[in-house]
Amino acid sequence: MNFTNKTIIITGASAGIGKVLAVKLAQQGAKLVLAARNQAALEITAHECIQAGGQAIVAPTDVTNPEACQKLIEDSLATFGALDCLVNNAGISMWARFDQLKEISMFEKIMKVNYLGTVYCTNYALPHLKNSRGLLVAISSLSGKTGIPTRSGYAASKHAVQGFFDSLRIELRGTGVDVLVVSPGFVATDIRQHVLGADGKPVKASLNNEQQKAMSTELCADLIIKAMRKRKRELVMTLKGKLGLWLKLFSPNLVDTLAARAVSSQKREI
């Protein structure tokens, strides 16, 4: 896939992976539609994209609202006339044991953003992606492959993303539309500054052990772009992640033990 003059929508483009991915695609001449709730942050991303040699428009969007997702697609078409790729990247996370939750409604919030947001955007984008024989990208997580303690709601939403796009890939055979599911491990983004705690509010904390082992957003974006260019079906980023998937087939109890041990060793850093 050549990105020059290709119209690409990226949700969650105001920061983190989405922002870096947008700028790198702009360097390759893409036309970017940048979506997120924070318009001021989107304007900064758009400026960097234009400085990098691409075209970019800002489309403030709450992906939990189906009408807002429809408008996102309509605005993209009105500006650029076509749609070649949708990158579903918007997401939120959590950090709390299920039996210690004080606010169960966070599960609904996480599911709406991480899963239903991708469904809504994909629903309105799909007819146009069929016309362009384009590409659907879902930024999932290794948590979408296996359960992670203290991330039960997040893992559930990413399992839903994985199942939805795996099913959609099969349905879209013969249409020219390809589906890529990306499963990063820990990436050094500011998402953990907004992670939801047991009370359903952002804890404004990071896990120091996790951050020390995190992949940079630049490397993460480079790997995503490489997979997009090849129109791959799946990208599991780390060797540990790939080994974990194989190990889960043969020794699932060991995988559970390792996951529990990894999380118990983490310390919260305010």
Residue percentage of the chain with pLDDT more than 90: 69
Considering only CA atoms, which of 114, 121, 166 is closest in space to residue 140? 114
Six token digits for residue 19 = 């922002």
Give the domain extent around 239. Answer: 7-269
Determine, yes or no, domain membership for 1: no
pLDDT at 233: 96
**Is residue 173 situated within a structural domain?**
yes
Is there a domain that residue 161 lies in?
Answer: yes
Mean pLDDT of the chain, nearest integer: 89
CA distance 186 to 207: 11
- In this prediction, residues 18-29 reach a mean pLDDT of 97
**166 within a domain of the structure (yes/no):** yes
Residue range 45-98, pLDDT digits in tens: 999 999 999 999 999 999 999 999 999 999 999 999 999 999 999 999 998 999
Q: Is the confidence at residue 213, as pLDDT, over 60?
A: yes
How many structural domains does the chain have? 1
Q: What's the CATH code of the domain at 222?
A: 3.40.50.720
- 122 alpha-carbon distance from chain centroid: 13
* Residue recorded with tokens 């690409």: 8
The HSE-up count of residue 30 (CA atoms within 13 Å, CB side) is 28
pLDDT digits (tens, 9 = 90+) for 125-166: 999 999 999 999 999 998 899 888 889 999 999 999 999 999
Please report the DSSP string for 103-114 in residue order.
Answer: -TTHHHHHHIII
The predicted pLDDT at position 269 comes to 40
Query: Has residue 124 been placed in a domain?
Result: yes
Average pLDDT score over residue span 204-210: 55
**Is the predicted pLDDT of residue 183 greater than 70, yes or no?**
yes
Residues annotated as catalytic (active site), given as ranges: 154
pLDDT confidence band for 12 (50 / 70 / 90): very high
